[in-house]
Amino acid sequence: MKTNRYIIVFVTARNKAEGRMIANGLLEDKLIACANLIKGVESFFCWKGKVDRSKEVMLVIKTQQELFSQVVAKVKKLHSYETPEIIAFPIVAGDKAYLKWIDESVS
């Protein structure tokens, strides 16, 4: 089982309600196997020429790399931000049973 087929996607959201809505939308469309919602994220960033900060939640999403563009499109459809954070990292190693579960969950 090639691990380079799998990714972890980070998405920040305005609050728990928005994070839950995004996670549920991705799960309903079978674009992801799992999303963890982490509350209490404090973000510092530059936006439109100013330094800003915001309290947010973080979604940690597990899926297949080939679904990334569809995940991006769905997140943008559901997200309230003009430019949401949607970044992916490759999974370089993983338990075979867990990776198999990702495959079964998104097919």
pLDDT for the residue 1: 61
pLDDT for the residue 69: 98
> pLDDT band at 107, cuts 50/70/90?
confident
pLDDT for the residue 2: 67
pLDDT for the residue 57: 98
Architecture of domain 3-106: 2-Layer Sandwich (3.30)
> pLDDT band at 3, cuts 50/70/90?
low
- Enter the pTM of the model: 0.94
CA angle 60, 62, 68 (to 5 degrees): 100
For residue 3, give the amino acid letter.
T
Fill in the DSSP letter of residue 67. G
pLDDT for the residue 94: 94
User: Mean pLDDT over residues 83-102, rounded?
Assistant: 96
Tell me the pLDDT tens digit for each residue of 33-78: 999 999 999 999 999 999 999 999 999 999 999 999 999 999 999 9
Count the alpha carbons within 13 Å of 74 in the hemisphere toward its beta carbon: 19
Domain ranges of the chain: 3-106
